[in-house]
Amino acid sequence: MNKLHNYIQGAWTLGNGQGKALHNAVTGDIITYATTDGLDFAEILQYGRDKGGKALRKMTFQERGLMLKALALHLHEKRKSFYELSYKTGATKVDSWIDIEGGIGNLFANASLRRQFPDQPYYVDGEHARLSKEGTFIGHHIMVPKKGVAVHINAFNFPIWGMLEKCAVNWLAGVPAVVKPATITSFLTEAMAREIIQSGILPEGALQLICGSAGDMLDHVESQDVVTFTGSASTGRMLKAHPRIIQEAVPFNMEADSLNCAILGEDAVPGTDEFHLFIKEVTREMTVKCGQKCTAIRRIMVPEKLVEDVQIALGQSLSKMTIGDPSLKEVRMGALAGQEQVKEVKERVAELTRNAEIVYGDFGAIEVLGADASKGAFMKPMLLRQDNPFVHTEAHDIEAFGPVSTIMPYKNLDEAIQLANMGKGSLCSSIATFDDEIAREYILGAASHHGRILVLNRESAVESTGHGSPMPMLVHGGPGRAGGGEEMGGVRGVKHYMQRCAIQGTPTTLSHVTQVFQPGAKYKETPVHPFRKHFEELEIGETVFTHKHTVTEADIVNFANVSGDNFYAHMDATSLDGTIFEQRVAHGYFILSKAAGLFVDPKKGPVLLNYGLEECRFIKPVYPGATIGVKFTVKEKVNQEKKDEEDIAKGIVKFFVDVYDETGESVAVATILTMVKKINQE
């Protein structure tokens, strides 16, 4: 008997018994069986903590990011091999592309995110806090990987994307994962997991896979673990209330199916680009993945005078949908994931139509291309209409998780906002309008109830990823019914898997702990200029005290001539009454430029180039006669990988520039970035 394997404790393992039959959504045939009976979930979680966690925590963010990049490149080469299996979930080629290549793309995006993190296993969060008068006692925040596992309980609609978009984030943070995909489509997740494990790119224990029931797994989670859930709101609430989750205060990130909405702006009348885009977007969100998307448009808000126009246009657009075998290029909409989903959608539609009418589609005979409608999990798109959505609120409470959506009218934008918010929290909303004031008013009124809002118009549509596409660098989640969680979101998402700790001590101690120079720390004076040293030779806190320069009026005039900056405070002493300046003041950028002249070692050496300026502040006015010097300190080092064999091995060194005057007070501070060559060029 063909059964799916579970990948646990470093080996592919079968569960006991026959398990649950998994069906081809198109033909109804049994593909395989899945079971987790007999697995010890306590040992599985502990193995992840001990084996995978320890290995990942030893790696720096740069190493973890490069690991993700290598995995993404490997899977990109293998991506075509997953499509044939994806078709069996009912997904068309476009649906499969979102799942497979979208998931791999998420790995690429998070790999690139490594550049926003230090070359350390931890993250220094924000700026230091001065806690004492003399500055000898400061505070800071550091974030370290949690010493647990990320337990991902995923939905059936995106078997690959659901795993990769979550794991990319926890792996970058330094935390291993135990993935429990929805059983019905877990055969596709298992295929991807096999390729990941076979690649050998991840450290052992970084990924474990459970194909079947989660059993008593949640009974064994601990406070250092993180649980994420994607699926129905009712199931999510049940899991979130698990006694162990509450007892151990386990972070629980919930991304639940929600009643997302699309609003047609009052300016988007028939004939405008925005009207056309709106019809196209609603049609797409109803039919991509057969509407089995947590972000799909369930409620369609339309100015009451345009309801008939929208109903007709959507009906015409939906009528062009070719339903059938998703592997055929002519097919625009495949099958639902299984007969259970078809049955559930029918039940929800029956509830919705107690007070609403069906204006397009039905549950009658269905014509499909290249398949047998009686065997596959096929259904037609269905458009409902609710003319009194403030009284009959079913569409704001009940979700049919399929190609089903409800049109409802609004009188003005205030009503549209009220209707949108009656969904009690959703993952996303969109508004089609070319009027930026309408967009602004809608966003400010609806943002409290939505995790993401898309403004769709003729300009954004050129490159827009659409209503239902979460992006790796933006948070994905929503308040209320949507679960109240957040995932992805660039740096924000990574922080979900890390513990923030406030640290206190002297600037010198915290400089050593964080490996970032803190203002007020002891300097490490060096007779050798830092520009004469290679990347590996530089130490945090190494400082050069430069020669000094006395600023003159000639400096101010010459800089004004060179730069063209003739601002009155620099050039006209008669205009200073009522200002903060006592006399003509030196240009801030002259001070910074002169500082560079003081701290730069001009000879050829390991420094390849000035990479940029990260921050700059002009603190105190500098008048003619003031004498300035510079304390030039190694602040932070960030490793860089070689792009190819011909590339120079190098890293980025951040220098803290403290320009001070004859009183010893700082007049300007800045952080400059330099690209520095390494000794080892291998």
Distance CA 230, CA 252 (A): 11
Active-site residue set:
255, 294
- Residue 1's pLDDT is 54
90 and 219 together in one domain: yes
- What average pLDDT is seen over the chain? 92
Please report, for the domain that includes residue 152, its CATH number.
3.40.605.10
Distance CA 533, CA 544 (A): 13
Judge whether 122 lies within some domain.
Answer: yes
325 is in which domain, residue-wise?
260-470
131 and 144 together in one domain: yes
Question: Which segment of 183-197, 358-372, 439-453 scores lowest on mean pLDDT?
Answer: 358-372
pTM: 0.89
270 and 126 together in one domain: no
Judge whether 612 lies within some domain.
Answer: yes
Site of tokens 């935390």: 175
pLDDT digits (tens, 9 = 90+) for 646-670: 888 898 999 999 999 999 999 999 9
Which helix (H) or strand (E) segment holds residue 384: the answer is strand 382-385
The mean pLDDT of 464-477, rounded to a whole number, is 88
Judge whether 516 lies within some domain.
Answer: no
Judge whether 478 lies within some domain.
Answer: no
Distance CA 613, CA 616 (A): 7
Please report, for the domain that includes residue 527, its CATH number.
3.10.129.10
Judge whether 404 lies within some domain.
Answer: yes
Please report, for the domain that includes residue 455, its CATH number.
3.40.309.10
285 and 253 together in one domain: no
Distance CA 395, CA 406 (A): 7
211 and 318 together in one domain: no
Question: What phi and psi values does residue 29 have, to the nearest 5 degrees?
Answer: -70, 150
Mean pLDDT highest for which of 422-431, 480-489, 576-585? 422-431
Burial of 241 (0-12, 13-18, 19+ CB in 10 A): exposed
Judge whether 537 lies within some domain.
Answer: yes
171 and 279 together in one domain: no
Distance CA 141, CA 127 (A): 8
Judge whether 508 lies within some domain.
Answer: no
276 and 161 together in one domain: no
The mean pLDDT of 521-542, rounded to a whole number, is 90
pLDDT digits (tens, 9 = 90+) for 602-648: 888 898 888 889 889 999 999 999 999 999 999 999 888 878 888 88
345 SS3 class: helix
How many domains in the chain? Answer: 3
- Residue 586's pLDDT is 92
315 and 253 together in one domain: no
Phi-psi region of 326 (alpha: psi -120 to 50; beta: other; left: phi over 0): alpha
- Residue 270's pLDDT is 96
Is the per-residue pLDDT at 326 higher than 90?
yes
Residue 244 has which token pair?
């162990």
pLDDT digits (tens, 9 = 90+) for 176-210: 999 999 999 999 999 999 999 999 999 999 999 99
pLDDT digits (tens, 9 = 90+) for 399-442: 999 999 999 999 999 999 999 999 999 999 999 999 999 999 99
pLDDT digits (tens, 9 = 90+) for 238-262: 899 999 999 999 999 988 888 999 9
pLDDT digits (tens, 9 = 90+) for 109-151: 999 989 888 889 999 998 899 989 888 999 999 999 999 999 9
Alpha carbons within 13 A on the beta-carbon side of 606: 22
The mean pLDDT of 293-303, rounded to a whole number, is 94
Which helix (H) or strand (E) segment holds residue 351: the answer is helix 339-352
107: nearest Cα among 179, 166, 177: 166
Site of tokens 């308040």: 479
Judge whether 41 lies within some domain.
Answer: yes
379 and 298 together in one domain: yes
244 and 268 together in one domain: no
Distance CA 584, CA 563 (A): 17
272 and 328 together in one domain: yes
In this prediction, residue 306 has a pLDDT band, given cuts at 50, 70 and 90, of very high
251 and 272 together in one domain: no
